[in-house]
């Protein structure tokens, strides 16, 4: 057992080292920019995973939280010259409150209510961003004002700094998710996912636990969104707050593997690279976007645990025992 | 001001009719299978494109396309049911939400891949004609859509309450296991219910072709408004879908007419939150609340 674990962590450390030195061997920005996209999508999917995977509550408005982080970054840095790092609390605060509003209305109910409410909310946020065009520049979107390479403004000459930033953000989301799943609330959440009624009869405050998980997921998403926006250098309601982005985040997480720590990371790289490859053949619109829908259908029907399940066939017994442990502990 | 209010109210009720028709389709599927079909808004887009294909081939008015659209949507529904829905029967509703949303995204982008993004129109004299009552105007296509909705809802009501098939469907909705024991072919009932739901989405698409452009993203307004209508009416209740559709139409009409043209989705989003706070099971829901 011990030996096996250490082998696993050695593989992980090896992959991280490869990832860290990878940019030294690549010339040109294109490959790096695709990898940065993979990293950020993996990070967003990891956030989605907290409520969508571990909680079993399918959210389709994570793009709204990403947009909140992105817009608070750009508005504060363009209009007031404040560094993106200081705009993080603003984005986190707004996401926290928005998640509270959605959660309060829907987490008392069982069924598709949460999903419908999140779709509606995502649409409302996009429309509001377009409506308040004095602050957000409306549908035209915002460009970041480039004043030379500057770490505190998060503007760089090429995408390599964003590559490292992406790795840091991804590891941060993985760490937060890990800590969350090992916390009391995390165990409660997995118990609720297993059987809501049983969990409630054991004295778990179902409503509160779901709400906390959703708020954590939302706040973390806005942090990712803040850095992702700096990488994009241009944000618009259709690119950051649309249903399409929410959909992609969800698909990345589900294809990778819901309710697993590294599933969304695997999903981020596989899905985004696959889309990049197909868009070469089919064009960026329509054709390659079909793949998202197709992947989702195929994975849910044939491999609901996600791609990551292919890597850990032999310790299925382990995870079964772990789940039992979790239930007992809850 | 009064004029704006009454005019917004009228157009709200009329566009609510289409939401209601669309919502009844979702309701039939939910009523029998206890699952929400999130792909209906893309099925509506395909209904619009089938209408456009019919027009492009024959040059006839869109209302002549009804039999063609019904057949095409029925075939589409059959294929979807066999390939995607059937393997999932009996699994939890989360995976059904995910699969139908994936299907929705797939169908929408398939339309974009096949037909391109440029909007298509079906020209006809009905498009611009309207009925004048005093100082208020009623667009003829919206009025026809509203009447068609009333007729179809009554037809469904009669189907469910007066025919053997309808009784079988209601029995399956009540308890599939018992229905099966009584000799009802539940698989067949599921198939028929799903096909009726998809055909309703297609007909809604046909009826709005004189009002909106035919584009792959035309269904996105239904993704929010119509589903909210179904929820606030009470999931699984046909009366609820009807009333919810019209209420949502009116709210959207009033918000877009009197506050701003862009804020419709915000208005209906707030309406959803408000209803969920006050009456979580919706207007006519039987209280499936489990907290």
Q: Angle CA(A74)–CA(A76)–CA(A80) in degrees, nearest 5?
A: 125
Task: State the Cα–Cα distance between residues B41 and B104, nearest whole angstrom.
Answer: 7
Q: Is A304 on the interface with B (CB under 8 A)?
A: yes
Per-residue pLDDT, averaged over B35-55, amounts to: 89
Q: Is A97 on the interface with B (CB under 8 A)?
A: no
pLDDT, tens digit, 9 for 90 and up, residues B229-255: 888 888 878 888 888 899 999 998 888
pLDDT given for residue A329 in this prediction: 46
Looking at chain A, which residue has its C-alpha nearest residue B85?
A: A301
Query: Which of B99, B105, B273 has the CB atom closest to A105's CB atom?
Result: B273
Residues of A within 8 A of B106 (CB-CB) are 290, 292-294, 297
Looking at chain B, which residue has its C-alpha nearest residue A139?
A: B262
Task: State the Cα–Cα distance between residues A319 and B167, nearest whole angstrom.
Answer: 46
Residues of A within 8 A of B113 (CB-CB) are 282, 286-287, 290
Kindly tell me the sign of the dihedral angle through the C-alpha atoms of B92, B96, B102, B106.
positive
Q: A174-179 long-range CB contacts below 8 Å, 24 or more apart?
A: A174/A46, A174/A261, A174/A262, A174/A265, A176/A216, A176/A220, A177/A46, A177/A49, A177/A50, A177/A261, A178/A261
Residue ranges in chain A modelled with pLDDT below 50: 1, 322, 324, 326-330
Q: pLDDT grade, residue B71 (50/70/90)?
A: very high
A104 burial level (CB within 10 Å; 0-12, 13-18, 19+)? middle
For B136, the 3-state DSSP assignment is: strand
Across the interface, whether the CB atoms of A120 and B105 are under 8 A apart is answered no
CB atoms within 10 A of CB A61: 29
Whether B289 shows a pLDDT value over 50: the answer reads no
pLDDT given for residue B1 in this prediction: 73
pLDDT given for residue A223 in this prediction: 92
Across the interface, whether the CB atoms of A297 and B99 are under 8 A apart is answered yes
Q: Is A60 on the interface with B (CB under 8 A)?
A: yes
For B6, the 3-state DSSP assignment is: helix
Q: pLDDT grade, residue B94 (50/70/90)?
A: confident
CB A213 within 8 Å of CB A189: yes
Task: State the Cα–Cα distance between residues B149 and B249, nearest whole angstrom.
Answer: 14
Cα distances from B127 to residues A148, B62, B70, B142, B212, in angstroms, run 55, 10, 22, 10, 10
Rounded to a whole number, what is the distance in Å from the CA of A129 to chain B's nearest CA? 10
Residues of A within 8 A of B227 (CB-CB) are 116, 119-120
CB atoms within 10 A of CB B161: 10
Query: Which of B93, B95, B291 has the CB atom closest to A112's CB atom?
Result: B93
Sketch the domain layout of chain A as residue ranges. 29-242
Task: State the Cα–Cα distance between residues A220 and A216, nearest whole angstrom.
Answer: 6
Residues B2-278, CATH architecture: Orthogonal Bundle (1.10)
pLDDT given for residue A4 in this prediction: 58
Query: Which of A101, A119, A254 has the CB atom closest to B224's CB atom?
Result: A119
- Inter-chain contacts counted by CB atoms under 8 A, chains A and B: 147
What is this model's ipTM?
Answer: 0.84
| Mean pLDDT score of chain B | 85
């Amino acid at each position: 057992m011990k030996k096996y674990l250490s082998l696993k962590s050695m593989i992980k450390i090896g992959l991280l080292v490869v990832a860290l030195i990878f940019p030294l061997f690549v010339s040109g920005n294109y490959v790096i920019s695709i990898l940065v996209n993979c990293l950020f999508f993996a990070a967003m999917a990891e956030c989605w995973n907290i409520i969508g995977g571990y909680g079993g509550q399918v959210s389709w408005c994570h793009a709204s939280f990403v947009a909140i982080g992105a817009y608070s970054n750009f508005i504060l840095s363009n209009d007031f010259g404040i560094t993106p790092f200081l705009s993080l609390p603003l984005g986190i605060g707004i996401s926290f409150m928005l998640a509270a509003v959605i959660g309060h209305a829907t987490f008392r109910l069982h069924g598709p209510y949460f999903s419908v409410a999140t779709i509606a909310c995502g649409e409302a946020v996009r429309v509001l961003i377009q409506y308040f065009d004095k602050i957000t520049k409306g549908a035209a979107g915002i460009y970041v004002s480039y004043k030379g390479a500057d770490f505190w403004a998060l503007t760089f000459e090429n995408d390599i700094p964003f590559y490292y930033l992406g790795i840091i953000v991804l590891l941060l989301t993985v760490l937060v998710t890990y800590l969350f799943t090992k916390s009391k609330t995390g165990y409660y959440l997995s118990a609720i996912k297993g059987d809501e009624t049983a969990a409630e009869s054991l004295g778990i405050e179902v409503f509160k636990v779901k709400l906390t998980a959703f708020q954590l997921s939302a706040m973390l998403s806005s942090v990712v969104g803040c850095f992702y926006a700096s990488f994009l250098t241009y944000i618009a309601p259709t690119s950051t707050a649309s249903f399409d982005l929410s959909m992609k985040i969800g698909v990345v997480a589900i294809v990778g593997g819901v309710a697993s720590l590294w599933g969304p990371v695997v999903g981020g790289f596989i899905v985004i690279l696959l889309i990049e490859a197909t868009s070469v053949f089919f064009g960026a619109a329509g054709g390659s976007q079909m793949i998202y829908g197709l992947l989702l259908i195929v994975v849910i029907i044939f491999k609901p645990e996600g791609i990551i399940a292919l890597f850990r066939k032999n310790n299925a017994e382990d995870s079964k025992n772990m789940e039992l442990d979790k239930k007992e502990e809850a | 001001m009064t004029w704006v209010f009454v005019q917004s109210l009228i157009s709200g009720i009329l566009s609510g009719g289409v939401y209601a028709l669309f919502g009844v389709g979702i309701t039939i599927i939910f009523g029998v299978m206890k699952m929400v079909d999130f792909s209906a808004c893309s099925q509506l887009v395909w209904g619009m494109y089938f209408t456009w294909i019919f027009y492009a081939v024959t040059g006839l008015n869109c209302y002549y396309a009804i039999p063609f659209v019904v057949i095409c949507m029925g075939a589409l529904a059959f294929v979807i049911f066999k390939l995607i829905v059937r393997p999932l029967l009996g699994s939890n509703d989360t995976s059904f939400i995910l699969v139908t949303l994936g299907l929705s995204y797939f169908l929408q982008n398939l339309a974009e891949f096949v037909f391109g993004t440029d909007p298509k129109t079906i020209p006809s004299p009905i498009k611009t004609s309207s009925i004048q009552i005093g100082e208020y105007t009623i667009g003829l296509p919206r009025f026809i859509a509203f009447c068609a909705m009333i007729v179809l809802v009554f037809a469904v009501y009669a189907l469910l309450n007066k025919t053997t098939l309808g009784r079988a469907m209601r029995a399956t909705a009540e308890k599939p296991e018992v229905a099966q024991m009584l000799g009802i072919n539940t698989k067949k009932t599921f198939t028929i219910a799903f096909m009726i739901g998809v055909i309703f989405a297609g007909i809604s698409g046909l009826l709005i072709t004189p009002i909106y452009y035919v584009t792959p993203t035309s269904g996105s307004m239904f993704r929010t408004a119509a589903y909210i209508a179904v929820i606030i009416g009470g999931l699984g209740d046909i009366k609820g879908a009807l009333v919810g559709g019209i209420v949502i139409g009116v709210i959207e009409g009033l918000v877009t007419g009197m506050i701003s043209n862009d804020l419709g989705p915000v208005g209906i989003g707030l309406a959803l939150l408000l209803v969920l706070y006050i009456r979580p099971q919706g207007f006519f829901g039987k209280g499936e609340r489990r907290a």
